Amino acid sequence: MKTTDTIGFIGLGVMGGPMCRNIATKHPGRVLCFDLSADALAALADTKAEPVDTVEALAAACDIICLSLPGGPQVQKVAALIAATAAPGTVVVDLSTTTVASARETAETLAASDIAFADCPVARTREAAQQGKLSIMVGADPAVYERIRPVLDYIASDVTHGGAVGAGQVLKLVNNMLVFANTVALAEMIVLGEKAGVTAETLLDAVSKGSGDSFVLRNHGMKSMGPRQFPDRSFPPEYVLKDIGYVFDLAADTGVRLPAAARVRDYYEASVANGMAGKYFPGVITLVENGTMEES
């Protein structure tokens, strides 16, 4: 990447907005942004990020284009617009979570217009996005990876090059499935401890000092599940189910059975069915408290 490169950012949601802010703060060149939400664009008004009216206008003006979109269908739709308008040699950096097959299909669509592609899904929390301390898993040709690495360093403290296109999504899906499963297991253990007379605060503190420690415990457990405080505008169970669906798509493609993951999926399906849609997914602990899962 050149310091004079113009970077575009499409999708300024819960994670995309903070990522774009970090890029606008740290990149010496121009930064353009696009989102369908006027409020999302207004949230960056105090930065140098320049709003544009269309995806096509952004694509035509940028050397590197970052995407942070809800899923594969949206990425493919936007990629088609970019393929029709961006200059040859442009690089698309997809920070979204999609299926592996979708990432590879998007790469083929863009390659037909001599546009490079890297799947670079992000992990960790909105707070990490705000701090520029995300973990990013990358699927890209080595030359493309070297070109985009400075952009990734604007928004992440840890970057892993997993291999060719699609590898980033494989790593992200494995990561997310482990987070979702760990959250369910931790929910059960917090409630078990409380019923046995140990407070969640004490339990989490003690386990954090032992071999049961984890990122989920220190973040979702200590900050949300223990005190039962679930912030707005955070990752909801319906997004969890989208990612779990991608995991099972990959399992079907590779012939791997995932019975434990299937049980975890049951929890989040029950979460949505019991009025928790749109709420922070660690709220799954309420299903353990009220005995919902005992009936299934």
Calpha distance 172→244 (Å, rounded): 11
* CATH assignment at residue 283: 1.10.1040.10
Note whether 136 and 68 are within 8 A (CB): no
Calpha distance 152→159 (Å, rounded): 7
Last residue of a domain, one of 164, 196, 213: 164
Instruction: Let me know if residue 84 belongs to a domain.
Output: yes
Question: Is 172 designated active site?
Answer: yes
pLDDT band at 151 (very low <50, low <70, confident <90, very high): very high
- The answer to whether residues 109 and 183 belong to one domain is no
- Average pLDDT over all residues of the chain: 96
- The answer to whether residues 100 and 227 belong to one domain is no
- The answer to whether residues 152 and 28 belong to one domain is yes
Global confidence as pTM: 0.91
- Give residue-wise pLDDT tens across range 166-183: 999 999 999 999 999 999
Q: What's the DSSP call for residue 70?
A: S
Note whether 54 and 60 are within 8 A (CB): no
| Residue range(s) defining the domain that contains residue 126 | 7-164
State the total domains in the chain.
Answer: 2
- The answer to whether residues 177 and 107 belong to one domain is no
- The answer to whether residues 203 and 111 belong to one domain is no
* CATH assignment at residue 42: 3.40.50.720
Buried b / exposed e over 161-187, threshold 16 CB at 10 Å, is bbbebbbbbbbbbebbbebbbbbbebb
Instruction: Let me know if residue 2 belongs to a domain.
Output: no
Instruction: Let me know if residue 1 belongs to a domain.
Output: no
List, as one string, the DSSP characters of 138-201.
Answer: EES-HHHHHHHHHHHHHHEEEEEEEESTTHHHHHHHHHHHHHHHHHHHHHHHHHHHHHTT--HH
The two tokens of residue 41 are 């664009």
Instruction: Let me know if residue 268 belongs to a domain.
Output: yes
Buried b / exposed e over 201-226, threshold 16 CB at 10 Å, is eebbeebeeeeeebbbbebbbbbbbb
pLDDT band at 31 (very low <50, low <70, confident <90, very high): very high
Last residue of a domain, one of 164, 194, 219: 164
- The answer to whether residues 53 and 148 belong to one domain is yes
- Give residue-wise pLDDT tens across range 202-236: 999 999 999 999 999 999 999 999 999 998 878 89
- The answer to whether residues 117 and 240 belong to one domain is no
The two tokens of residue 224 are 């949300």
Task: Name the catalytic one among 2, 172, 195, 223.
Answer: 172
- The answer to whether residues 176 and 35 belong to one domain is no
